[in-house]
Structure 1
Amino acid sequence: MRVTIIFNHPYEGSYCNAILETVSKGLRKANHEIDLIHLDNDQFNPVMTSSDLKAFRDKSPVDPKVLEYKEKLEKADHLIFIFPIWWELMPAMTKGFIDKVIFPGVAYDYTNKENTRMKPLFNKIKGVTVITTMNTPKLLYRLFFGNAIKKALILGTFWKIGYKNRKWISFNNVKKVSQEKRIKWLEGLETRFSSFA
């Protein structure tokens, strides 16, 4: 299986980077091929320009990075997003990736004249996994902030497009938990992705 990881965190010493390394290690143990999109290292520009919006209307992206990412996603069997949650939402680069790559004529098309029903165009992709870190307690994030990431990506974007296999793995209170717990989380991830199918 070819797994494309979309990663967004600017600090190499972050827990997100540890997650990236662990997930990659697990996937390699399971003999999966990994294609990494590192938005920070790529210096991906998340801003939708007037040219990008015209391209959105015309279903023809103009950003060279978007075209590069499109080629990678066309070969992917599964997508894994890894990013931190800042102020209850994803960082700008992840949001920009959704805005500029999950694009009509690229990632999806409409199946009716009213443009209300979508179908995916990345036909090999069988599922999407989102892995996040945050400092907000899980219960607080669910009750006060309505699991915003789950609503936006799992129940929003990827449900609308038509992907049935969608998962969200959330690590909460990351700054407050012990090093032992962080290690245990990573061990669980490695086990999970070493049997990923």
Structure 2
Amino acid sequence: MPKRILVLDGHPGPDSLCGALAAAYAEGAIRAGHDVALLRLSDMTFDPDMGAGFGADKPLEPCLAEVQDKIAWCEHLVIVHPMWWGLMPAKLKGLLDRVLLPGFAFRYTSGQMLPDKLLQGRTAEVLVTADSPRWYLYLIERVPGYRVMKSQILGLCGFKGIRFRTFAPVQGSNEAKRKGWIERAGHYGAAA
């Protein structure tokens, strides 16, 4: 069954491994018959600072309004980003802060401890590149960025079936290894 898929390349720079993974995922999903939109963080200019928080009236820049529109449109969200200092890049976090707003992604209801999830009915997949080996990320570090993304960002907004795909270690990898990762991302897109 074809899906509407948004692929967000969350690397702040152009010509990255994340960009290649995002493009391969999108191409694989298109070949499988899905309707795909690909947005690149490196093409966006916006203020990533929320300022005074959710209560502040800060209009969305056009690129952020487009991200919001595509999130509302999609049935499956794919975020591809590098792991820097155990987390996503600051510009990607700023995008999520600015776009996943009350009234769009969630709604506070008086008397309820947790907000209403307004983006229910969607699934998500997060592809992450990292310099640390996978075993170290999972066993030693316990992937704090993954836990935050799953429960405190995407899960809080209503996304279900959130999967993480780790491509690591990038540091010291050769061209053949990276080519294999790109091919694997294409397979994930075809299987979405």
If the TM-score is normalised by the length of the shorter chain, which range does it land in?
0.7 to 0.9
SS of the aligned residue for 1:130 comes to strand
Matched residue, 2:40: 38
CA–CA distance in structure 1, aligned partners of residues 35 and 8 of structure 2: 14
Matched residue, 1:118: 115
1:135-188 deviation per Cα after TM superposition (whole angstroms, max 9, x unaligned): 011122223322012111013222223322111111111122232222222222
- For residues 1-197 of structure 1, what are the structure 2 equivalents within 5 Å? 1-50=3-52, 53=53, 56-57=54-55, 62-65=59-62, 66-110=64-108, 112-123=109-120, 125-196=121-192
Identify the range of structure 1 (185-194 vs 127-136) with the bigger mean alpha-carbon deviation: 185-194
Q: Please say if residues 26 and 36 of structure 2, whose CA atoms lie closer than 8 Å, have aligned partners that are also in contact.
A: yes
CA–CA distance in structure 2, aligned partners of residues 186 and 102 of structure 1: 29
CA–CA distance in structure 2, aligned partners of residues 11 and 105 of structure 1: 31
Unaligned runs of 5+ in 2: none
Change over 3 Å in CA distance of 1:45–1:61 after alignment to 2: closer
CA–CA distance in structure 2, aligned partners of residues 183 and 22 of structure 1: 10
TM-score (norm. length: structure 1): 0.85
| Corresponding residue pairs, total | 189
Q: Please say if residues 119 and 158 of structure 2, whose CA atoms lie closer than 8 Å, have aligned partners that are also in contact.
A: no
CA–CA distance in structure 1, aligned partners of residues 106 and 91 of structure 2: 20
> Which runs of structure 1 show a deviation greater than 6 angstroms over 4 or more consecutive aligned residues?
none
1:128 CA drift (Å): 0.9
Q: Please say if residues 6 and 77 of structure 2, whose CA atoms lie closer than 8 Å, have aligned partners that are also in contact.
A: yes
**Matched letter for residue 138 of structure 1:** R
Identical-pair percentage: 25
Unaligned runs of 5+ in 1: none
CA–CA distance in structure 2, aligned partners of residues 76 and 61 of structure 1: 24
Q: Please say if residues 154 and 168 of structure 1, whose CA atoms lie closer than 8 Å, have aligned partners that are also in contact.
A: no
CA–CA distance in structure 1, aligned partners of residues 33 and 96 of structure 2: 28
1:38 CA drift (Å): 1.6
